[in-house]
Structure 1
Amino acid sequence: MRMMATYDLMEAGRITQQWLGAAAQAIGTHPFLTMTPNPAANWLRGWGEVTERTFKRMSLKPEWGILPLKDTDGLERSVETEIVTSRPFGDLLRFVVEGRETPQRKVLLVAPMSGHYATLLRATVTSLLPDVDLYITDWHNARDIPVGAGKFDVEDYTLYLVDFIREVGSEAHVIAVCQPAPLTLAATAYLAQEDPTAQPLSLTLIGGPIDPSAARTEVTDFGDKVDMRQLEKSMIQRVGNRHAGAGREVYPGLMQLTSFVAMNADKHASAFRSQIARAAAGEVTNCDKHNTFYDEYLSVMDMPAEFYLSTVDRIFKKGEIARNAFTVAGKTIDIRQVSNVAIMTIEGEADDITAPGQCIAALTLCSGLPAEKKFSHVEPGAGHYGIFAGSSWRNNIRPLVLTFMSQREESAKEERKRSVSKKRKSPR
């Protein structure tokens, strides 16, 4: 009951702030205060507008809102999502472009389960859509998942990825962004052991903590120093009665958001002061730079407690992936078994979350993979966000990834030709 009361208290605080923002906005626009120029009323209205929007976004799942794609003939084709596979903790979505011939190249984009929704990768999705048949993992907010659905930890996450990769097909390319990189590598190794024909053609790992100890950051220092019992006691709560997942233990999205903001508190405070000033001056638009960024950044979801705790314990503290000692359902996953999947790692030179060295460790772990199937790239000057969105991604990394996929497709064709030729020549 204590944990549920704390969860409800946090939600009540969010609702109160949203209400105060709406009230301030209403007062600031009252005719009595606006009959003559009134800077105080303008500031109150501006503060209320920004505050209401800020706290309202924290409880909403953003829409994908992908703009129509222009075809080669100049026609605009709408983009919709369809659920390919629906599971309690996440769906496999496919982006469908109305009326276009479906590209042969299939790509599965593995989105993080680290506090934000899959829509955080909207820019990545938009940039890839013109060239590929695109799928994405759409993880659910744990507060909406009934307790009867059971647990969901890093092993369950890995098995979800195994099923999703099978569903998309063995001719697909997989891209994992940040948090899911180590577990996507584990899922690929699982397939290499259990179902080799279901392995993807290629695996691109972007800014993922394969070996957190390879390069120190604040995130890895936290993982090393934190006591798991204290972490569980201080961070885990039970979902309140207002939601379908009432009673489920979670790491609440609002607590995660507090941690995100604290990492760059001065920068965020400055951004909001500037936005309030612009709102007071009537210069804010619904899709201005501030709102576009923070509408996504502030939309947070609860994580299953067992997933969060097992990630900290097994990926960061114990380094099970880095030591090639990860187990799923009691079976050790041997990453050295990956031998026929081309792997590329992408890192950002200025990444202060997953520093260079952490992701490229995957190539050393895959000791059974030939050198010609291993590739790596460090993007000069790019931070964590820049390696999957923004100009660094659009201008440099995306073309590199697509070229990597093309080369892998060509080599796969050659491998199949050699295999067929070898079978024909072998004595019967």
Structure 2
Amino acid sequence: MMYFAYEIGRAALKPVRMLAKAQSNLLQHPQNPLSLMPGARSVASAYGVFGDLTRRYSKPAFNLPTTLCDGKEVAVHETIVKRKPFAQLKHFKRDVARPDDPKLLIIAPLSGHFASLLRGTVEAMLPEHDVYITDWRDACLVPLSEGDFGLDDYIDYIIDFISHIGPNTHVLAVCQPVVAALAATAIMAEDGHPSAPRSLALMSGPIDARIDPTAPCKLATKHKLSWFKTNLVHPVPAPYPGALRMVYPGFLQLAGFVNMNLDRHVDAYRGLFRSIRDNETDKVNRHRDFYDEYLAVMDLPAPYYLDTIQRVFQEFALARGCFTYRGRTVNPAAIRSTALMTIEGEKDDISSPGQTQAAHDLCINVPQIRRLHHLQSGVGHYGVFNGSQWRESIAPKLRSFIRAA
């Protein structure tokens, strides 16, 4: 019912938003005499902010048409090399194919935002790697006939994608998928899979969410699983292709994201108001570039969401040695030949320092010479995989680690 009411509210606001946009454009038009009136630009700015706050944000594009190889600009083409109901494997194919460049699979989080949130991650790795990424689908677009999708299915997808890319694949899991990526690697190692990852880099994720629990971790342990199922899981309304599928809606996730740093977002939109009023085009564009990505969210399949809450954040199953996959216990100690790197941010308020590093305590048979842990000072969660610190400090270490592996 909540999802349906939300859609009705958005539909009701659409004509108001269109009128506000028209008024904003009119009051800023240089040939309109009203634009010269005192306060006209402030009113136009208010209309503009209202439009930004109420519009629907669609799935962003990666928009990475070129990269640099050996100092030369080369074209990059996004191709889908494998399609599955809840995800597709995307390949950033460069015009210059260098056989000695490592194959890198980036596992994007299925936690509300689209895979394009890792645009900066992909961009930094493209010059020296043959890059693939998991491009998860919005659950409201997946028909019920495709079945359910839980945490075990997520692990299946990872194994399938790694197998498709082939032997000597390097894997980078960012945030939420670190548990599934480590489990998949352990399963492939134990089974003697020929495409078991050459290296595994785990970045800012909850391998052991008991360590210095953050606000999301505390929320998960504060309530029983039934509370999440009752309050946060809703059926997709018509006319979406996934109508009646039970999901954790994107708009509820976004409300949680925003409430974690509400003051920061309020200040950002105050700044947008001033920038529109003062005709500061560059600042307006920077704000909108960020929020076009941040406010674009997707629905999560309910079984996957509830599995993650229960097994990762309530039972801490992997850290306690009792994580199971399709009825079998996952054994990280089976990992021997895969190099292991963990990366954390000093000011991470989603996965605090120590939660990801815990992977080293589980993978006891990875030789010490093939391990690396990096704690980046002065960065929060987002800054670990995007921004200047990622480009200048973290990415070079990750590239060197992959080459050494």
Of 346, 349, 361, the residue aligned with 1:349 is 346
Indicate how the Cα distance of structure 1 residues 383 and 31 shifts in structure 2: closer, same or farther if over 3 A, else same: closer
Is 1:390 matched up with 2:387?
yes
**In 2, distance between residues paired with 1:88 and 1:232?**
23
Of 162, 185, 188, the residue aligned with 2:159 is 162
Aligned to 2:66: 68
Normalising by structure 2, what TM-score?
0.94
**In 1, distance between residues paired with 2:14 and 2:65?**
30
8 Å contact kept, 1:103–1:133: no
**In 1, distance between residues paired with 2:68 and 2:196?**
33
Q: How does 1:404-423 map to 2 (within 5 A)?
A: 404-408=401-405
**In 2, distance between residues paired with 1:331 and 1:317?**
20
Aligned to 1:238: 235
**In 2, distance between residues paired with 1:373 and 1:70?**
29
Of 10, 24, 40, the residue aligned with 2:20 is 24
Indicate how the Cα distance of structure 1 residues 250 and 352 shifts in structure 2: closer, same or farther if over 3 A, else same: same
SS class of match (1:114): coil
Is 1:291 matched up with 2:288?
yes
CA deviation string 1:384-427 (max 9, x = no partner): 1111111111111111111111111xxxxxxxxxxxxxxxxxxx
Q: How does 1:281-320 map to 2 (within 5 A)?
A: 281-284=278-281, 288-320=285-317
Considering only aligned residues, what root-mean-square deviation do their CA atoms show, in Å?
1.9
**In 2, distance between residues paired with 1:340 and 1:261?**
41
8 Å contact kept, 1:387–1:393: yes
8 Å contact kept, 2:272–2:284: no
Q: CA deviation at 1:45?
A: 2.3
Q: CA deviation at 1:64?
A: 1.2
More deviation in 232-241 or 287-296?
Answer: 287-296
CA deviation string 1:123-149 (max 9, x = no partner): 010111010000000000000000111
SS class of match (1:347): strand
Indicate how the Cα distance of structure 1 residues 201 and 39 shifts in structure 2: closer, same or farther if over 3 A, else same: farther
CA deviation string 1:200-222 (max 9, x = no partner): 11000000100000222111111
Aligned to 1:372: 369
SS class of match (1:195): coil
Q: Which amino acid aligns with 1:255?
A: L
SS class of match (1:66): coil
Is 1:55 matched up with 2:54?
yes
Indicate how the Cα distance of structure 1 residues 77 and 56 shifts in structure 2: closer, same or farther if over 3 A, else same: farther
SS class of match (1:130): helix
Is 1:209 matched up with 2:195?
no
SS class of match (1:78): strand
Indicate how the Cα distance of structure 1 residues 10 and 102 shifts in structure 2: closer, same or farther if over 3 A, else same: farther
Q: CA deviation at 1:49?
A: 2.4
CA deviation string 1:3-33 (max 9, x = no partner): 3xx2122123234445433212323444799
Indicate how the Cα distance of structure 1 residues 72 and 339 shifts in structure 2: closer, same or farther if over 3 A, else same: closer
Q: Which amino acid aligns with 2:378?
A: G
Q: Percent identity?
A: 37
**In 2, distance between residues paired with 1:326 and 1:393?**
31
8 Å contact kept, 1:22–1:49: no
CA deviation string 1:318-355 (max 9, x = no partner): 01111121111111111111111110100111111100
More deviation in 281-290 or 184-193?
Answer: 281-290
Q: Which amino acid aligns with 1:337?
A: A
Q: How does 1:76-91 map to 2 (within 5 A)?
A: 76-91=73-88
Q: CA deviation at 1:84?
A: 1.1
SS class of match (2:168): coil
CA deviation string 1:160-188 (max 9, x = no partner): 10111111122111000000001100000
SS class of match (1:212): coil
Q: Which amino acid aligns with 1:27?
A: Q
8 Å contact kept, 1:21–1:49: no
**In 2, distance between residues paired with 1:30 and 1:376?**
55
8 Å contact kept, 1:239–1:245: yes
Q: Which amino acid aligns with 2:122?
A: V
**In 2, distance between residues paired with 1:310 and 1:391?**
35
Q: Which amino acid aligns with 2:9?
A: G
Is 1:125 matched up with 2:111?
no
Aligned to 1:7: 3
CA deviation string 1:223-244 (max 9, x = no partner): 1111211111111111110210
Indicate how the Cα distance of structure 1 residues 149 and 107 shifts in structure 2: closer, same or farther if over 3 A, else same: same
Q: Which amino acid aligns with 1:356?
A: P
Normalising by structure 1, what TM-score?
0.89
Aligned to 1:184: 181
The count of residues paired between Structure 1 and Structure 2 equals 402
8 Å contact kept, 1:165–1:198: yes
Q: Which of 1 and 2 has greater Rg? A: 1
SS class of match (1:211): coil
**In 2, distance between residues paired with 1:31 and 1:273?**
19
Of 133, 143, 151, the residue aligned with 1:146 is 143
**In 2, distance between residues paired with 1:181 and 1:294?**
26
**In 1, distance between residues paired with 2:150 and 2:320?**
19
SS class of match (1:339): coil
Structure 1 gaps of 5+ residues are 409-428
**In 2, distance between residues paired with 1:264 and 1:39?**
34
Indicate how the Cα distance of structure 1 residues 24 and 163 shifts in structure 2: closer, same or farther if over 3 A, else same: same
SS class of match (2:194): helix
Q: Which amino acid aligns with 2:7?
A: E
Indicate how the Cα distance of structure 1 residues 73 and 388 shifts in structure 2: closer, same or farther if over 3 A, else same: closer
Q: Which amino acid aligns with 1:88?
A: P
SS class of match (1:198): coil
Aligned to 1:279: 276
